[in-house]
Amino acid sequence: MRLHKDAKAELIRSLPLFADCTASEVAEVAAIADEIDLSAGRRLTTENADGQEFVVIIDGHAEVLKGEEKINDLDAGDFFGEIALLTGAPRTASVVATTNVHALVIEGHAFRRLLEDAPDIRNKVERALADRT
């Protein structure tokens, strides 16, 4: 199941990180977002690793691990990776798919280029991140 353009933009707009963005700004973010399918058991990110992407779960489930301890569950609409991607800090936890996962992924290099080219988006994203941390 692939999202059509409007559904992808709507999903992005629903995220706190992009809530203050205009429709055209959300469209710019949606243009760099790719859909991927991941198998159950796949490690989506590893604690203390460099953050290279921002992930939004469209369908499926994953668990968040700090060391070997499960600290959270992620479902459709949940996301991770924004703090490491924006700050350059290492990942604060690991995320492992517990079912097959369909996700939206924004690669770090594309996101950083977008933020350089669109300072209004950058300012809104940075404010949203400051509110979350």
Domain housing 127: 5-132
Structure tokens at 120: 């209004």
CATH code (residue 94):
2.60.120.10
Q: How far apart are CA 117 and CA 120, in angstroms?
A: 9
Domain count, the chain: 1
pLDDT digits (tens, 9 = 90+) for 15-50: 988 999 999 999 999 999 999 999 999 999 999 998
Q: What is the pLDDT of residue 89?
A: 84
Residue 105 in contact with residue 33, Cβ under 8 Å? Answer: yes
Structure confidence at residue 6 as a pLDDT band (50, 70, 90): confident
The answer, yes or no, to whether residue 133 has pLDDT greater than 70, is: no
1 pLDDT band (50/70/90 cuts)? low
Do residues 43 and 102 make contact, with C-beta atoms less than 8 angstroms apart? Answer: no
| 29/50 Cα distance (integer angstroms) | 22
